[in-house]
Amino acid sequence: MPLKAVALKEEGTHPPAEGVLRRFAQVRTIRSLDDVENVKKERPDIVLMDLGMPDFEAGEVLKILSQSRHIPVFICFDSKIQPAALLKYLTSLGNIRVRQPSRTVGLSEAIRLLGISQEVLARVLNVSSRTVHRWLKGARPKPNQVLARLLGIVTLLQRTLPTTDAIQTYLRYPNPNLGGDRPIEVLTRGDFDRIESDLQAIQEGVYV
């Protein structure tokens, strides 16, 4: 039976590491200590806990979750840690990995996951908006290396951060490995190599 892992998240906080947590655990929003009691009733095997929750003392949360015959393993971290560093640490534990999708995404799904308009996509692919519209209506695209490359990157995004929220956070959060640029800005400029390298570095748990 797979281990049940739960990550505790304080209401109203959206740390950049949250997308990584969702790869390994079911995220639970904590509004009060009663919510911690409810997590205890779920009998998780592993609890991932942010030490930097501003409204909760880590000791109080640990005390509640420890008052059970089924005491989980606690993994404490700082949510301000860079996602790649947290990913490297959690991956090193080895026993709470998740299966990653391997299929290639379609054009409609790529637009949804990237959160861009048809017009922006047309500029990236150097085609007309009308052409993109016809593709979305079912017309078969002619061989297009840029389109194939873009869909490959979206697939890599899913394999690295396989939830829509995690992908959106990654794309729109300033990335120090990209000189402070937001990945979506780099992607829409057509600089695919930098995004591929960054995602591969995240998968490996290191920044080059």
Identify the bridge partners of residue 48 per DSSP, sorted by sequence position. 7, 75
Indicate whether 39 and 68 sit together in one domain.
yes
Euclidean distance between CA atoms 196 and 156, whole angstroms: 8
Euclidean distance between CA atoms 190 and 149, whole angstroms: 10
What is the per-residue burial (b if ≥16 Cβ within 10 Å, else e) of 112-148? ebbebebebbbbbbebeeebbeebeeeeeeeeeeebe
Indicate whether 112 and 188 sit together in one domain.
yes
Indicate whether 150 and 69 sit together in one domain.
no
Structural domain contains residue 26: yes
Q: Look at residues 33, 61, 93 and tell me which one is the last residue of a structural domain.
A: 93
**Which tokens sit at 32?**
């009060």
* 14-72 pLDDT tens trace: 555 666 777 778 888 888 889 889 988 888 888 888 777 777 777 788 888 888 777 78
Indicate whether 86 and 113 sit together in one domain.
no
Number of domains in the chain: 2
Structural domain contains residue 38: yes
Structural domain contains residue 162: yes
Q: Which range marks the domain in which residue 187 is found?
A: 107-204
- Which pTM does this prediction carry? 0.53
Q: Give pLDDT, residue 2.
A: 65
Indicate whether 199 and 130 sit together in one domain.
yes
Euclidean distance between CA atoms 173 and 161, whole angstroms: 14
Q: What's the CATH number where 47 sits?
A: 3.40.50.2300
Q: Look at residues 93, 128, 150 and tell me which one is the last residue of a structural domain.
A: 93
Distance of CA 89 to the CA centre of its chain: 15
Indicate whether 76 and 163 sit together in one domain.
no
Euclidean distance between CA atoms 105 and 162, whole angstroms: 12
Indicate whether 88 and 115 sit together in one domain.
no
**Which tokens sit at 122?**
């047309």
Residues of the chain with pLDDT under 70: 1-2, 12-19, 79-85, 87-89, 91-104, 162, 203-208
